[in-house]
Amino acid sequence: MKSYKEMNKEELELLLNTLEKEYNDILKLNLDLNMARGKPDLDQLDVSMDMLDVITSKTDLVKKMDYRNYGILDGIDEAKDMFAELLETDTDHIVVYGNSSLNIMFDQISRGYTHGYMGSTPWCKLDNIKFLCPAPGYDRHFAITERFGIELITIPMTNTGPDMDLVEQYVNNDESVKGMWCVPQYGNPTGVTYSDETVKRLAALKPAAKDFRLFWDNAYMIHHLYSDKQEHVLNIIDECEKAGNNHMYFEFTSTSKVTFPGSGVSVIATSPENKKDLLKHMTVQTIGHDKINQLRHVEYFKDVNGLKQHMMKHADILRPKFEAVLKIFDEELNGLEIGTWTNPVGGYFISFDSLEGCAKDIVKACKDAGAILTDAGATYPYGKDPKDSNIRIAPSYPNIDELVQATKLFVLCVKLVSVKKLLKYM
Ligand code: PLP
């Protein structure tokens, strides 16, 4: 295929005519497609339905304590054991929460803001607080810190994780940098897993702020797409402890995309001292989370092996969807020099980079033709992508026919918008 960049004006104008005709034909179809959010599809939700039969009126819910009643603030022992094994740590590092890890992240930011960590000055009493935001990244992370008026600093993502020279420069010299968002494995949306070197450099930071924390959102730690191509990230707990930064991390994960988003179980792992500090808040905030749901999850999976085997059922459903999108990208866009994209082996997203200044127009053209994508810019702090080029593709939710239709429309819009852009500068 001839690269669009090599085409002369006449060739591009001819191409534009054909593409516009194709687009107008699609407009008549009144499509209603959605590739915006990373939600499990109906088959994936069905995969966990048996879990709902695990706890019945006959189940013994009275263990060391009565799980039907108030109490057990940091989670039931069975759930703490399972998550400690998953996160390769001890139960004294673990707090099992309710249904959402994002909820814990919000709480942790809120606690830093109103009360401060382990005796540090609350951020609300300081003039300017900054958070490092590797981008492209997860819009809801950025939204939490933005909500508290924290200044968001964009850190470019590379194939091995965030640009570490820049991270070190900020964290080690600027006392107002209090934290950093990280999705260390199969990142949202890049699919990148942080290299060992990146993790070691992060763990060995020498923060100017003693209350600096890594917000280590390990949301996709077991969300592999292939049994034989699995990436793993180094254990941040061990690495921080080795580097003498015992309190520098809050690690999060949940079963939202393992069982049921909204009805899963979430967890935070951190040093026992941090745990003690956060429990001071939790004890005022709640008398305890849903222990019956915690037990339901443990009884269903039995152990971490059960959890990992279960994830292969998700992989079997998700893999063909990722492959369908990537095949269309390869067939339709390879060699045209109008976009690049990731080939993730896990997680929920494909990250697409268009020519500069095209992402917003591509997303709009898709929307006008009936396919909703994540807003252009959403993967950057403040929703502003400086190059206007990154688009997050979420292949999980539509069925395969809809996905193929949406991807073909997306590819057409990429071509259309790119040709217009190239013509503008001729
Ligand atoms: N973290 C990341 C990186 C995500 O992509 C998502 C959901 O898309 C979440 C957290 C949400 O997690 P939860 O459902 O546990 O709040």
Q: Give me the pLDDT at residue 81, please.
A: 97
Euclidean distance between CA atoms 323 and 321, whole angstroms: 5
Q: What is the mean pLDDT of the segment spanning 338-357? A: 97
**pLDDT tens, residue by residue, 113-136:** 999 999 999 999 999 999 999 999
* Residue 163: closest CA among 190, 132, 126, 204: 132
Mean pLDDT of 50-54: 97
- Tokens 């992989």 found at: 315
Q: What's the confidence (pLDDT) of residue 31?
A: 85
The tally of CA atoms less than 13 A away on the side-chain side of residue 291 is 22
Please answer whether residues 354 and 366 qualify as being in contact, where contact means their C-beta atoms are separated by less than 8 angstroms: no
In the sheet with 350-354, reading across from the earlier edge strand, the strands are 339-341, 350-354, 390-393
Atom number of ligand 1 nearest to Cα 102: 16
* Ligand 1 midpoint to CA 252 (Å): 9
Residue nearest ligand 1's atom 2 by CA:
219
Q: Give the residue, out of 99, 102, 350, with the most ligand 1 atoms within 8 A of its beta carbon, to mutate for a pocket test.
A: 102
Q: Is the pLDDT of residue 89 over 90?
A: yes
DSSP string, 89-113: S-GGGEEE-SS-HHHHHHHHHHHHH
Closest approach atom of ligand 1 to CA 266: 15
User: How many angstroms separate the alpha carbon of residue 101 from the centre of ligand 1?
Assistant: 7
Encode pLDDT of 159-209 as tens digits. 999 999 999 999 999 999 999 999 999 999 999 999 999 999 999 999 999
Residue 350 reports pLDDT greater than 90: yes
Most informative mutation of 141, 193, 217, 289 for ligand 1 (most atoms within 8 A of CB): 217
Using a pLDDT cut of 70, give the percent of the chain over it. 100
- What's the rounded mean pLDDT across residues 48-54? 97
Neighbours of 87 (CB within 10 A): 23
Q: How confident is the model at residue 63 (pLDDT cuts 50, 70, 90)?
A: confident
pTM score, whole prediction: 0.97
Rounded to the nearest 10 degrees, what angle do helices 77-86 and 291-301 cross at? Answer: 50
Say how many Å lie between the CA of residue 285 and the centre of ligand 1. Answer: 22
Q: Determine the distance separating the centroid of ligand 1 and the alpha carbon of 303, expressed in angstroms.
A: 22
Over its C-alpha atoms, the chain yields an Rg (Å, rounded) of 23
Atom number of ligand 1 nearest to Cα 349: 5
| 261 CA to centre of ligand 1 in angstroms | 9
- 214 phi, psi to nearest 5 deg: -85, 125
Ligand 1 is surrounded, with C-beta below 6 A, by 38, 100-102, 138, 183, 188, 217, 219, 254, 256, 261, 266
Which atom of ligand 1 lies nearest, measured to the CA of 138? Answer: 3
Burial 11-24 (b: 16+ CB within 10 A, else e): ebeebbeebeeebe
CA 114 – ligand 1 centroid, Å: 24
Pocket test for ligand 1, best of 104, 190, 254, 265 (most atoms within 8 A of CB): 254
Which residue in 85, 87, 178 sits closest to 131, CA to CA? 178
Give the Cα separation of 159 and 154 in Å (integer): 16
Mutate to test the pocket of ligand 1, among 96, 138, 218 (most ligand atoms within 8 A of CB): 138
pLDDT digits (tens, 9 = 90+) for 366-397: 999 999 999 999 999 999 999 999 999 999 99
Cα of 5 vs centre of ligand 1, distance in Å, is: 38
pLDDT digits (tens, 9 = 90+) for 399-426: 999 999 999 999 999 999 999 999 998 8
Please give the pLDDT value at position 1: 78
In the predicted structure, residue 349 carries a pLDDT above the cut 90:
yes
Nearest CA to ligand 1 atom 7: 38
Q: Which structure tokens are listed for 357?
A: 């200044």
Distance of CA 197 to the CA centre of its chain: 21
Strand partners, 152: 131
Over residues 202-217, mean pLDDT: 98
- Is 49's pLDDT higher than 90? yes
Give me the mean pLDDT over the 100-108 stretch: 98
For 221-234, write each residue's pLDDT tens digit: 999 999 999 999 99
Percentage of the chain beyond pLDDT 90 is: 96
pLDDT value for 425: 87
Indicate which residue's Cα is closest to atom 11 of ligand 1.
102
CA-proximal residue: ligand 1, atom 4 (nearest): 219
Q: What is the pLDDT of residue 426?
A: 84
Report which ligand 1 atom has the smallest distance to the Cα of 348.
5
Looking from the CA of residue 261, the nearest atom of ligand 1 is 14
Q: Compute, in angstroms, the gap from residue 38 CA to the centroid of ligand 1.
A: 9
pLDDT at residue 29 greater than cutoff 90: no
Q: Band the pLDDT of 365: cuts 50, 70, 90.
A: very high
- The predicted-structure confidence for 141-156, as pLDDT tens digits, reads as follows 999 999 999 999 999 9
Average pLDDT, the chain: 96
